[in-house]
């Protein structure tokens, strides 16, 4: 039965056509936006079910079961409406619905007869059973919670355990774990030992451990002793184990990942029939209080009676938390397990592939595991084994990925120091995850639809594949070597610096013109996000969770610093931050850049990262006059301004002016680029050119943050009125 038939049934049941139309509109809204208006349970939204992403790996069996179960339930509901609507439709003069129901109920026994009544009772019984089973699967088996219940849980967690935030806690230093994947059942069992050490200067009298509440907890001990007390609601476990400074302890655990019930979003997709992607954040217990569980939204905190969150982040540990990994992974026959570290051993036992991965040096304490029917592609490059694990039908882009990865190792290694691992792996994971790629130490998880299936044949498009590979490889330095302290500005040090690494690799592969197009896209991303953002914009070095800032604006700023300081000077300053003995902060970054910058450039470093400074750049007029020697005098009238919060700032900088033989907005490369010193207001630049330009552009390589670049290009020989800048 179609949605149209349901709407017809509503019209039959509702006596007034306009009320029926409103009921149909309400049904349509509930189907599309039901969760946002409080209809969160899948049985309250007609024909709602999980979206099954198109994937060569095949859909999640749990998502398919949820889809089939929910669609069967709604088919029964629709069938009941199809039967009831004609019987209850008004005939002749107006009859209230209640009167029609009473009348039809009296008439049906005689009309149906004994056999018909039995069949009707059987159908009604089947409908009740189906509804009850669906209710059980979607509510009890799936542990359904409304958004309000989840907020209440977070608030209660904070009230109960926020006192532990900032208290001394042991740090993990080594993990040895066995991960048994059972993709055919969408289950996994993880058993391991996490060795922790008290690095604090004071004793620790109680060790708190958090286990995710959606895991099956089989065992949890600290040095062989069970928790003194456990709070199952929050997954908090307290061990009465005193640790003096420098003492170590072994946290042994056994947990299970299970798929339960039906859900409208398809449920957990970590372990699937083909294309498993399981992360440490999903299965490894964490030591201490988790501030990530807290309610973040200030309005919700006020409503729930929680105090405002402190603006000052907790004092970070001076030494970054790192640990060694020793992972043994087993999976289904025909599949290949992939994880970070050296592949020490691989074997088959009871028909199941096994592999052991070990990291010699400590790494950031996050990792991912992938498993699928992969085809392995590999190259040896300067002592590093670069591997791509791809679906057998997705090999078209693998050579480009390998080339981008090896180029990234060369370019970024020369800039910031040697790549820290003997192996770099890229593993394809199914479409549907909320990222294009994610970098773990030595391993990059890359979604099929945003890399392996990307069409690179269009020469006018950006090289998205190489760009994404370069960005994730850059995280092996920014995030996994240079590790931030925690707090505002962390994503600037991790994501913005990876954007700069992305630019370096694209520059090496395709030249400055491709970088300019890439940064122009990032500039527009910043402008779009800025227009939609609520509240005041923070400086780039204090950004927390605004992708349009740390991706978009950050890319423009780093390209500007590249032009301001020069690539060698900038890279030397950034390389000084690659320290494994301590964490780095935005202040450390600032000191390193300012120390390398010439005195006249230091103010701009602060303006671009510690203030919110915007530019307004325009070409007002460009004229060309032939010279007797065959060259051309090019006169360019420029307008330039800087603002902060609507307030004008003085401007005295060297900008670039590009000369073109075709409109640069179409992607043409400049014939020549000249440096011009400009001041606030109007500046007329006199340039001698070997060729006659048809167009002139200011800031052709996008090194300044101008959210309205529409006036930056003008044809030569014509004066144009500058548009009014946006406020």
| pLDDT, tens only, 9-25 | 666 666 666 676 677 77
Query: Is 0.75 surpassed by the pTM of this model?
Result: yes
Return d(Cα 689, Cα 695) in angstroms, integer: 13
* Least confident segment among 145-154, 158-167, 307-316: 307-316
Average pLDDT over residues 458-465: 80
For residue 95, the model assigns a pLDDT of 65
For residue 45, the model assigns a pLDDT of 82
- Does 459 have pLDDT greater than 70? no
For residue 77, the model assigns a pLDDT of 81
% pLDDT > 90, the chain: 72
Q: Are 386 and 356 in contact (CB under 8 A)?
A: no
Pairing state of beta strands 681-689 and 437-440? unpaired
For residue 166, the model assigns a pLDDT of 85
Most confident of 255-264, 308-317, 700-709: 700-709
What SS3 state is found at 166? coil
Q: Which fold has domain 167-288+322-373?
A: Immunoglobulin-like (2.60.40)
% pLDDT > 70, the chain: 88
For residue 535, the model assigns a pLDDT of 85
Q: Which residue has the tokens 């670069």?
A: 386
Measured CA distances, 579 to 439, 571, 572, 574 (Å): 19, 15, 13, 11
Return d(Cα 647, Cα 680) in angstroms, integer: 13
What SS3 state is found at 639? strand
How many residues would you count in the chain? 727
For residue 52, the model assigns a pLDDT of 83
Q: 581 burial class (0-12, 13-18, 19+ CB within 10 angstroms)?
A: exposed
For residue 231, the model assigns a pLDDT of 96
Place domain 614-719 in its CATH homologous superfamily. Answer: C2 domain (2.60.40.150)
For residue 224, the model assigns a pLDDT of 96
CA 686 to chain CA centroid, nearest Å: 47
Band of the pLDDT at 721, cuts 50, 70, 90? very low
Q: CATH says 490-610 is which class? A: mainly alpha
Strands (E), 661-700: 672-679, 681-689, 695-698
What integer best gives the mean pLDDT of the chain? Answer: 90
Band of the pLDDT at 26, cuts 50, 70, 90? confident
Q: Where are the domains of the chain?
A: 3-144, 167-288+322-373, 490-610, 614-719
* Least confident segment among 42-46, 547-551, 570-574: 42-46
For residue 226, the model assigns a pLDDT of 97
Strands (E), 294-374: 324-330, 336-338, 342-349, 352-358, 368-372
Average pLDDT over residues 372-385: 98
490-610 and 614-719 have identical folds: no
- Does 725 have pLDDT greater than 50? no
Average pLDDT over residues 386-411: 98
- Does 623 have pLDDT greater than 70? yes
Cβ atoms within 10 Å, residue 671 = 17
Average pLDDT over residues 318-327: 86
Q: Are 448 and 372 in contact (CB under 8 A)?
A: no
Q: What is the DSSP string of 397-421?
A: THHHHHHHHHHHHHHHHHHH---SS
Measured CA distances, 649 to 527, 642, 656, 712, 724 (Å): 20, 5, 20, 20, 18
For residue 8, the model assigns a pLDDT of 65
- Does 81 have pLDDT greater than 80? no
For residue 17, the model assigns a pLDDT of 67
Return d(Cα 81, Cα 582) in angstroms, integer: 67
For residue 46, the model assigns a pLDDT of 80
Is the alpha carbon torsion for 557, 560, 564, 569 positive or negative? positive
For residue 118, the model assigns a pLDDT of 75
Band of the pLDDT at 557, cuts 50, 70, 90? very high
Tokens found for residue 33? 């936006």
Return d(Cα 173, Cα 197) in angstroms, integer: 7
Q: Where are the alpha helices (DSSP H) in 538-598?
A: 547, 554-565, 567-575, 586-596
Average pLDDT over residues 269-295: 95
For residue 78, the model assigns a pLDDT of 79
């Amino acid at each position: 039965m179609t949605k149209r038939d349901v709407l017809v049934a509503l019209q039959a049941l509702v006596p007034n056509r306009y009320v029926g139309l409103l009921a149909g509109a309400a049904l349509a809204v509930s189907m599309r936006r039901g969760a946002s208006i409080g209809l969160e349970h899948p049985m309250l939204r007609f024909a709602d079910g999980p979206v099954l992403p198109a994937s060569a790996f095949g859909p999640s069996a749990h998502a398919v079961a949820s889809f089939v179960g929910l669609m069967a339930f709604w088919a029964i509901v629709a069938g009941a409406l199809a039967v009831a609507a004609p019987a209850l439709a008004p005939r002749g003069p107006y009859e209230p619905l209640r009167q029609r129901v009473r009348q039809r109920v009296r008439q049906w026994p005689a009309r149906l007869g004994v056999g018909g009544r039995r069949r009707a009772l059987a159908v009604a019984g089947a409908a009740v059973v189906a509804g009850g089973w669906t209710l059980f699967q979607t509510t009890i088996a799936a542990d359904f919670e409304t958004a309000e219940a989840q907020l209440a849980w977070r608030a209660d967690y904070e009230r109960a355990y926020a006192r532990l935030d900032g208290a001394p806690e042991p740090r993990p230093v080594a993990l040895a774990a066995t991960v048994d994947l059972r993709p055919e059942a969408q289950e996994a069992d993880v058993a391991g030992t996490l060795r922790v050490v008290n690095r604090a200067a004071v004793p620790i009298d109680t060790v708190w451990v958090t286990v995710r509440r959606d895991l099956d907890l089989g065992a949890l001990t600290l040095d062989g002793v069970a928790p003194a007390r456990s709070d199952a609601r929050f997954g908090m476990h307290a061990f009465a184990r005193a640790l003096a400074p420098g003492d170590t302890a072994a946290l042994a655990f056994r947990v299970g990942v299970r798929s339960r019930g039906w859900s409208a979003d398809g449920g957990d997709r970590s372990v699937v029939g083909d294309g498993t992607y399981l992360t440490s954040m999903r299965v490894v217990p964490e030591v201490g209080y988790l501030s990530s569980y807290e309610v973040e939204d200030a309005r919700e905190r006020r409503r729930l009676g929680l105090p405002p969150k402190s603006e000052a982040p907790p004092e970070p540990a001076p030494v970054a938390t790192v640990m060694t990994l020793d992972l043994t992974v087993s999976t289904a026959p025909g599949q290949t397990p992939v994880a970070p570290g050296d592949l020490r051993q691989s074997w088959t036992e009871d028909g199941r592939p096994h592999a052991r991965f070990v990291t010699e040096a400590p790494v950031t304490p996050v990792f991912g595991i992938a498993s699928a029917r992969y085809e392995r592609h590999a190259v040896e490059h300067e002592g590093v084994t670069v591997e791509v694990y791809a679906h057998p039908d997705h090999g078209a882009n693998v050579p480009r990925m390998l080339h981008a990865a090896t180029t990234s190792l060369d370019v970024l290694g020369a800039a910031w120091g040697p790549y820290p691992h003997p192996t770099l792996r890229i593993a394809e994971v199914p479409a549907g995850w909320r990222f294009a790629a994610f970098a773990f130490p030595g391993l990059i998880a890359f979604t099929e639809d945003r890399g392996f299936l990307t069409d690179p044949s269009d020469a006018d498009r950006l090289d998205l594949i190489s760009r994404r590979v370069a960005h994730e490889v850059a995280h092996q330095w920014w995030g996994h070597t240079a590790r931030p302290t925690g707090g505002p500005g962390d994503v600037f040090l991790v994501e913005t610096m990876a954007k700069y690494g992305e630019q370096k690799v694209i520059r090496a592969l395709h030249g400055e013109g491709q970088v300019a197009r890439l940064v122009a896209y990032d500039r527009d991303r910043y402008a779009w996000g800025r227009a939609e953002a609520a509240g005041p914009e923070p400086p780039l070095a204090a950004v927390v969770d605004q992708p349009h800032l740390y991706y978009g604006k950050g890319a423009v700023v780093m390209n500007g610093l590249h032009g301001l300081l020069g690539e060698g000077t900038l890279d030397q300053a950034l390389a000084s931050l690659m320290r494994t003995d301590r964490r780095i902060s935005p202040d450390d970054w600032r000191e390193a850049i300012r120390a390398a910058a010439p005195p006249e450039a230091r103010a701009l470093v602060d303006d671009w990262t510690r203030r919110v400074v915007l530019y307004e750049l325009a070409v007002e007029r460009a004229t060309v006059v032939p010279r007797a020697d065959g060259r051309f005098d090019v006169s360019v009238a420029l307008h330039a301004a800087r603002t902060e919060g609507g307030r004008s700032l003085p401007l005295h900088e060297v900008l670039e002016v590009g000369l073109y033989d075709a409109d640069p907005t179409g992607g043409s490369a400049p014939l020549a680029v000249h440096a011009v010193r400009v001041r606030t207001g109007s500046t007329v630049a006199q340039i001698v050119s070997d060729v006659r330009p048809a167009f002139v552009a200011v800031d052709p390589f996008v090194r300044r943050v101008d959210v309205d670049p529409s006036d930056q290009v003008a044809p030569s020989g014509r004066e144009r009125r500058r548009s009014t800048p946006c406020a």
